[in-house]
Structure formats: C-alpha cells, structure tokens
C-alpha cells in the first residue's frame, strides 16, 4: 500500500516522541553514571591515601632499618585491604626492592623500574592497566623525618567498577531496544486502528465523487472512526435516494412538456389580437429608443468632459515642466540679484539725499527690486514660492491691493478705468499666501484694464459658495464650502483658442517688456494650484471676460498683524558672532558687510565642510546657513554635523527657493528662522534680531 501523508505524519510523531523519551532517559542516566564514577574513584583515592598514611611511618622505619621480614608483613597487611591487588616498594634509584608478587622476574619492565622523571615527586593517583586488567594506581615517596627512603606504588583492582559501568550501558541499551519495540508496536497499532480505516474512508469518498453511489463500508469499531464510517454510509444512501428522486422529477418534467405543447396549440387561437399587441410593442420600442438616444447624448457629454479633463491634465504637465525650468532659473537669478538689491541699501546709508549719486543708486535699487519681483513670478510659476499657511480673508486682500502702489500705477496708466467692488460681508476665511493672492489679483486687474483700451469698468466681487452632493460641476470642485473671487471686465474678450493657452508662461498678446512679461496668468494658475483652488473663465469676444477663482475655506480666525520696526536702528546688534555659510563669495561678502553695518561680528565659510571644521575649535552665536551648496554637504547635512558639536546651535536658513521640505527638515532640527534671497538690510536685520533677541 502506498504510504499516505496521514501514515507518515503519525509515524513521524510516534518516532519523534520515542526519540525524545530516549534522549530524556539518556540525559538522566549519563550524568548519574558520570557522577557515580567520579565518586567511586575519589573514594578509592581516599582509601589508598588513608592506607598509605597509616603505614607510612612504619614502612619508612622498616626500610631505613632494613627489616625485610617486617616490611614484607606490612605489604601483606596493605594487600589484605579489599581490592588492593599489588604493592611495590622502590629504592631511591627507582629499582623495585620489595613486592607482593611472588616472582619479581615476572613483573613487567614498566613496573620493575620507575621513570627518572617520577623521582622526588609528590603523591599521585591515576588509572592504569596491568597484565590487561584495569587498576587504580597510587604512587608516593616514603619519608622519615623529611628524608626520602624509597617509593611505594599500590594497585587497586577496578574490575568490579568497570563491570558496573558495563551493566549501566547494557541497561540503557536494553531500555532503548524496548522503547524501539514499543514505537514499532504503537505504529502498527495506530496503522491498524486509525490509518487503514481512514485510507479506506478516503478511497470510498473518491469512488462516491466519481459517481458510484452504491459504495458502502463495513463498520469495524465503535469509536470516532466507526462514527465517521456510519455517517459516510448514510450520506451515500441519501445521495442515491436523491438521484432517484431527480430521475423521477425529470420524467414528470417530460409529462409537463406534453401539456405545454397542448397549451401552445391553444395559444394559436389568440392570433386575432396579434395586431393590437404589435402596436403596443411598437410604442414601447419607441420609448426605449428615445431613452437610448438620451443615454447616448449623456455619454457624448461625458466623452467631451473627459477630453476637457485630458486637455487640462496635459496643460498641467506642460506647466509643471516649464515650472521646473523656471524654478532653476529663478534660484540662480536670486543669487545674482542679491548684490543689486543689497548693495544700494549699504551705499545709501553713507550718502546724503543731495548727493549726485543718491538718485542713480535709488534707481539701481528699484530696478533690482523689479527684477526680484519677476523672479518671484518665476518661483510662483515653479510652485516653489508659496507658503500656504496664513489665515486670510479675500476682502482684506482686495482692500490692501486697491491701496497698493501697484494698483495706483495701473490707475495712472489707465485713467479711463473705473473699479467697482461688491464684497460679501460674511465672506469665509481661506488659508493662503497674501503676497501671491495680491499678485494674482493685480495680474487679473491689469489684464482687465488692458482689455478695455477705450475705458470701462472692472467689477471685483466676492461671495461664499457651497458645493453639495450631485451638484453639476465641470471644474472639478469637491463637496464643501468655497470663497469665490470674481474679476469681470466688459472689453474685447478672449477667443476660444487663446483660452486654451492663456495660462502658458510667456504666452501673451501684449508687447513683451512694455505692458507685461508673459507670466501674469501663469502666476495666477500656479497660485490656484498651490491653494488647491479652481479657476473658471467665462468670456465672449466683444462682450468681456469674467474670471472666477474658487478657494477652499477654513474655519480658523484671521490673526492680528504684528507691527514691524520702522527704522534700521531697531535691528542693531552688540558684536555677537554670526557665521555666514554660503558657497558663493559674493553672497558671503554682501552678508558680511550688512552684518558689520548692523553691529555684528561676522565670520564666514564657503562650504559645509569648512564650517564644521571651524566650529570644532570655535563657537558662534548664530549661523546664517545657505541650503544649496554643491557639490558638498547642503544646509541640512551641515546643520546636523554642527548640532553634534554644539547642541542647540541657533541658525537661520537662507535659500533662493521657498520653504520646501528640506528647509522644513532643517527647522525641525532647531533652526529658528528662514530668510529668502535676495535679502535687504531690513530683512536680514529683522531675522537676526528675532533669533538672537
């Protein structure tokens, strides 16, 4: 019979159990036998030493006085002790002198002469063999008044000891053999009572599965196996009975089929009403066709919406690619503009307003600030310049913008434009960046003014808007509340072709460099993306355009604005040591000059590695830490190394980008401030003062 998995498992379990029992017995008997042997040998050693100690003085006197007969009697007394078989006396040269052996010539060379290395040794005890038999050997020098007179060797017979050890091994072997016999018997017993009936039951189930419903098994026991066999036989009988009932039901079905044929014959008499039934069916089909057309129209609309979403996705990917390029350019321009923005402030501090160089330097400063504003547009386009964490209200943004110099400049250029506002009193707050929202509003108002060259009105309004479940939405608005900013003009409008490209960078209908940079609507789009907002355009050529900006609202209150110091003197330091860490020499030079002007004591490092090496033997009050310093460590890695040297080191992070994830990681390490390039005297002074206190 083929070995089944059940038999294998049960046999393996029985064998493993037997082996474990045998190992357990061995683990008990072997240490016991080992301890018994040690105790026995220790007792023998103790006995032999006691016998020698008792006879030592007597033997020494007899050897010294050459009383051979008395010495022979003493050796016989020692040999009379149980299991002591031989006693040997050696002279000081190691040659045998007396022995309990009758014929000294029969003594082996190993016992007749002592090895030279055993002279003048202390007493010893070990096992040895003599004439093929095991013995325990006790050897010791014989002394009298501290003088060696000879040596003694006593052999103790260990035959009984070794016989007992053999008996223990035979007992373990017999016990193992008995256990193996029990394992074999138990395996055969389980095979007969469990495995064989289980295999028969399995084979019978396979036969039943193959369709043999007559299979029955003999019940050979009243245990669980027998109960399973009885249940199987009952199941086979029930299946056989059900198959008979099924055959009878099929016969009944055939009888019903005959009756059904008769009913069909009767239905033929109803053909007179067929025309009416056809008309009713035709009307139903007409309604179905109408529903199908409506469904096809809905699918067509869905397909159009899908195409619009795909176009929007394509536009987003294009904007993302252009944004990455713009971000890299903006970062490099920020480093270049640092000198143009920062040095004029330093020069103006040393010039009077009536100085002939004063006004040209102011012009340079204003030009640098305009260039920095264009760089800010590039960063917004790259989506690296927005920190969406302020709780603000769009009404406040509109009010501040209408009072700003930027809007006054637009009014100066377009004197025939009228601004109208309609702001909701209960407008909900949003989370965002006031700087970028004002910039976006300025771009929308500027475009609206440009769209009305002959004059007109620009309508700015706000409202709350709620999107519910099932609201028809083509712009991707999620369910929730929104604050809406609307800028509407009544000018030339935007064509459908231009609406498809209006948010692309540098796509403009204006004269590049005179009335625009081509980044205005790209900045609006980037700002909406960063604020998780949506923009909707309603425009008709010749009638005007309305931009609707939807922003998710927040329930947080708008914070109070802190007042900034009005003069540079408020930012003066007291010779605190500030380390400037930057890979660009011009950035280090600008920061160093500004810090000296503000009363600080600056030191510098052109890389993270140089800064770490310097701070191993020096300390500073504050780090001015640039984030990007290729090709070595960046700001994050540098600050980590410095904190290992100076835990709690104060630092301000400096970057041409915005506060990205890497900058936030540095701030989580302990950096207390963030400064964006290019920085002015006021910005740098305020940042350093706020950290140092």
User: What pLDDT is recorded for position 167?
Assistant: 82
Cα distance between residue 693 and residue 684, in whole Å: 14
The answer on pLDDT for 413 being more than 80 is: yes
The answer on pLDDT for 412 being more than 80 is: yes
Can you give the pTM of this predicted structure? 0.38
The answer on pLDDT for 241 being more than 70 is: yes
Q: What is the mean pLDDT of residues 654-683?
A: 79
Q: How many CB atoms lie within 10 A of CB 462?
A: 21
The answer on pLDDT for 624 being more than 50 is: yes
Q: What is the mean pLDDT of residues 47-62?
A: 81
Average pLDDT, the chain: 78
pLDDT, one tens digit per residue, over 374-406 is: 666 655 555 544 445 678 899 999 988 888 877
Cα distance between residue 442 and residue 398, in whole Å: 9
Name the band, by pLDDT with cuts 50, 70 and 90, for residue 580.
Answer: very high
Percent of the chain predicted with pLDDT > 90: 13
The answer on pLDDT for 484 being more than 90 is: yes
One DSSP character per residue, 262-285 reads HHHHHHGGGGGGHHHHHHHHHHHH
Cα distance between residue 23 and residue 25, in whole Å: 5
Name the band, by pLDDT with cuts 50, 70 and 90, for residue 509.
Answer: low
**Residues with Cβ < 8 Å from 118, sequence gap 6 or more?**
94, 139, 151
Residue 678 DSSP symbol: S
Q: Is 110 helix (H, G, I), strand (E, B) or coil?
A: helix
Most confident of 178-187, 306-315, 322-331, 637-646: 637-646
| Distances from the Cα of 112 to the Cα of 89, 94, 99, 115, 292, angstroms | 10, 8, 10, 10, 126
pLDDT, one tens digit per residue, over 631-667 is: 889 889 999 999 999 999 999 998 876 667 788 888 8
Name the band, by pLDDT with cuts 50, 70 and 90, for residue 473.
Answer: low
The answer on pLDDT for 564 being more than 70 is: no
The answer on pLDDT for 513 being more than 50 is: no
Name the band, by pLDDT with cuts 50, 70 and 90, for residue 622.
Answer: very high
Higher-confidence residue of 671 and 27: namely 671
Cα distance between residue 503 and residue 500, in whole Å: 8
The answer on pLDDT for 332 being more than 70 is: no
The answer on pLDDT for 550 being more than 60 is: yes
Identify the weakest region by mean pLDDT among 442-451, 576-585, 633-642, 658-667.
658-667
Hey, what long-range contacts does 64-67 have (CB within 8 A, 24 or more apart)? 64/144, 64/149
Name the band, by pLDDT with cuts 50, 70 and 90, for residue 489.
Answer: very high
Q: How many CB atoms lie within 10 A of CB 529?
A: 19
Higher-confidence residue of 222 and 626: namely 626
Identify the weakest region by mean pLDDT among 115-119, 436-440, 537-541.
115-119
| Distances from the Cα of 78 to the Cα of 51, 81, 82, 86, 87, angstroms | 7, 6, 9, 9, 8
Cα distance between residue 87 and residue 68, in whole Å: 15
User: What pLDDT is recorded for position 320?
Assistant: 60
User: What pLDDT is recorded for position 250?
Assistant: 82
Cα distance between residue 605 and residue 336, in whole Å: 19
User: What pLDDT is recorded for position 565?
Assistant: 40
Most confident of 127-136, 193-202, 300-309, 575-584: 575-584
User: What pLDDT is recorded for position 91?
Assistant: 80
pLDDT, one tens digit per residue, over 273-293 is: 776 777 777 787 778 778 878
Q: What is the mean pLDDT of residues 564-568?
A: 46
The answer on pLDDT for 351 being more than 90 is: no
The answer on pLDDT for 563 being more than 50 is: no
Q: Is 583 helix (H, G, I), strand (E, B) or coil?
A: coil
CA-nearest of 96, 115, 114 to 106 is 96
Most confident of 191-200, 245-254, 543-552, 556-565: 543-552
The upper half-sphere exposure of residue 506, i.e. CA atoms within 13 Å in the direction of its Cβ, equals: 5
């Amino acid at each position: 019979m083929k070995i089944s998995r059940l038999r294998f498992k049960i046999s393996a379990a029985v064998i493993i159990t037997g082996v474990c029992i045998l190992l357990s017995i061995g683990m008990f008997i072997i240490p016991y036998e080992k301890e018994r042997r040690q105790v026995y040998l220790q007792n023998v050693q103790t006995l032999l030493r006691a016998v020698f100690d008792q006879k030592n003085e007597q033997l020494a006197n007899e050897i010294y006085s050459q009383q051979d007969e008395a010495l022979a009697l003493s050796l016989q007394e020692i040999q009379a002790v149980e299991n002591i078989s031989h006693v040997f006396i050696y002279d000081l040269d190691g040659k045998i002198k007396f022995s309990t052996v009758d014929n000294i010539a029969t003594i082996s060379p190993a016992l007749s002469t002592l090895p030279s290395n055993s002279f003048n040794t202390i007493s010893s005890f070990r096992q040895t063999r003599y004439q093929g038999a095991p013995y325990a050997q006790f050897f010791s020098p014989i002394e009298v008044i501290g003088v060696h007179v000879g040596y003694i060797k006593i052999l103790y017979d260990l035959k009984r000891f070794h016989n007992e050890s053999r008996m223990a091994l035979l007992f373990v072997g017999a016990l193992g053999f008995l256990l193996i016999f029990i394992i074999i018997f138990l395996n055969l017993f389980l095979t007969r009572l469990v495995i064989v009936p289980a295999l028969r039951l399995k084979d019978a189930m396979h036969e039943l599965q193959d369709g043999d419903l007559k299979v029955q098994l003999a019940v050979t026991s009243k245990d669980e196996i027998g109960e399973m066999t009885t249940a199987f036989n009952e199941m086979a009988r029930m299946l056989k009975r059900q198959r008979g009932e099924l055959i009878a039901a099929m016969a009944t079905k055939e009888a019903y089929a005959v009756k059904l044929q008769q009913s069909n014959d009767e239905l033929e008499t109803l053909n007179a009403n067929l025309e009416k039934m056809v008309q009713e069916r035709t009307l139903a089909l007409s309604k179905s066709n109408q529903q199908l057309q409506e469904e096809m129209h809905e699918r067509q609309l869905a397909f159009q919406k899908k195409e619009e979403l795909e176009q929007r996705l394509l536009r987003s990917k294009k904007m993302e690619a252009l944004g990455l390029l713009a971000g890299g350019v903006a970062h490099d321009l920020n480093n270049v503009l640092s000198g143009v923005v920062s040095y004029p402030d330093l020069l103006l501090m040393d010039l009077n307003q009536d100085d002939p160089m004063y006004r040209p330097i102011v012009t340079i400063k204003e030009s640098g600030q305009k260039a920095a504003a264009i760089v800010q547009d590039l960063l917004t386009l790259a989506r690296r310049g927005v920190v969406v964490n302020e709780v603000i209200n769009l009404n406040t943004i509109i009010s501040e913008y209408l009072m700003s110099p930027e809007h006054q400049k637009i009014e100066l250029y377009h004197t025939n434009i009228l601004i109208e506002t309609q702001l909701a009193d209960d407008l909900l707050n949003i989370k965002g960046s006031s700087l970028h929202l004002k910039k976006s509003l300025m771009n929308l108002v500027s475009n609206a003014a440009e769209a009305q060259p002959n004059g007109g009105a620009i309508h700015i309004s706000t409202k709350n808007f709620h999107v519910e479940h099932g609201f028809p939405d083509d712009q991707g608005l999620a369910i929730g509340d929104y604050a809406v900013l609307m800028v509407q003009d009544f000018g030339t409008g935007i064509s459908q072709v231009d609406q498809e490209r209006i948010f692309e960078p540098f796509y403009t209908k204006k004269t590049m460099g005179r009335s625009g940079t081509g980044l205005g609507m790209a900045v609006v789009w980037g700002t909406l993306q960063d604020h998780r907002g949506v923009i909707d355009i309603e425009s008709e050529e010749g009638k005007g355009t309305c931009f609707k900006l939807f922003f998710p609202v927040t329930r947080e209150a708008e914070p109070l604005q802190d007042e900034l110091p009005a003069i540079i003197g408020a930012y003066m330091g007291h010779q605190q040591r500030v380390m400037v860490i930057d890979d660009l020499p011009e950035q280090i030079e600008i920061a160093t000059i500004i810090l000296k002007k503000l009363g600080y004591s600056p030191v510098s490092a052109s890389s993270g590695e140089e800064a770490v090496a310097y701070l191993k033997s020096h300390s500073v009050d504050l780090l001015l830490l640039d984030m990007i310093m290729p090709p070595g460590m960046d700001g994050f890695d540098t600050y980590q190394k410095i904190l290992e040297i100076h835990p709690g080191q104060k630092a301000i992070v400096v970057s041409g980008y915005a506060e990205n994830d890497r900058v936030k990681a540095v701030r989580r390490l302990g950096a207390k401030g963030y400064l964006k390039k290019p920085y002015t005297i006021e910005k740098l002074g305020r940042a350093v003062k706020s950290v140092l206190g």
